[in-house]
Structure 1
Amino acid sequence: MARKTTTRTAKKTAPVKPPPCEPCEGSGQVAITVRVGRKRRPVGQQDGICLTCFGTGEADS
């Protein structure tokens, strides 16, 4: 008895999305404390680029 062979199509997998960066939580920006005066007292915060992911918001593996 002859066996029937069929060609199977390769299943496409979804691209794997890297996890979000932990320090910036995926936003790409972190809060940096602004210090002023001779005693360098903190007066507020401003947004700065995340140095862990360089603003991409994705964690490196």
Structure 2
Amino acid sequence: MAPRRTTTKPPAPAPVPVEPAPCQPCGGSGNVPVTVRVGRKRRPVGQQDGLCLNCLGSGTDPDA
């Protein structure tokens, strides 16, 4: 019979949390500027905030 092992293994180190990368189109804010167009000729009059379709407003890069 083999002798019993009396030493224990050291505990595994805790994994370091990785911060997700910010989304490129919105810069991590979750909002992108959308041009507002009015009139029959659809002339641009300004911009408003719109939801980023790449990250769906979360601000983190979905491909990372």
Which interval holds the TM-score relative to the shorter structure?
0.7 to 0.9
Deviations 1:5-48 (A, max 9, x none): 45312111222222100000000000000000111110000001
* Over 4 Å off, 4+ runs: none
Task: Confirm whether residue 23 of structure 1 aligns to residue 25 of structure 2.
Answer: yes
Distance 1:55 1:39 in 2: 31
Structure 1 gaps, min length 5: none
Q: TM-score, with normalisation over the residues of structure 2?
A: 0.81
Greater Cα offset, 26-35 or 9-18: 9-18
Distance 1:48 1:60 in 2: 18
Structure showing greater radius of gyration is 2
Task: Confirm whether residue 9 of structure 1 aligns to residue 20 of structure 2.
Answer: no
Q: 1:48 aligns with which of 38, 47, 50?
A: 50
The amino acid that maps onto 2:30 is G
The amino acid that maps onto 2:25 is P
Q: Give aligned pairs, total.
A: 58
Q: TM-score, with normalisation over the residues of structure 1?
A: 0.84
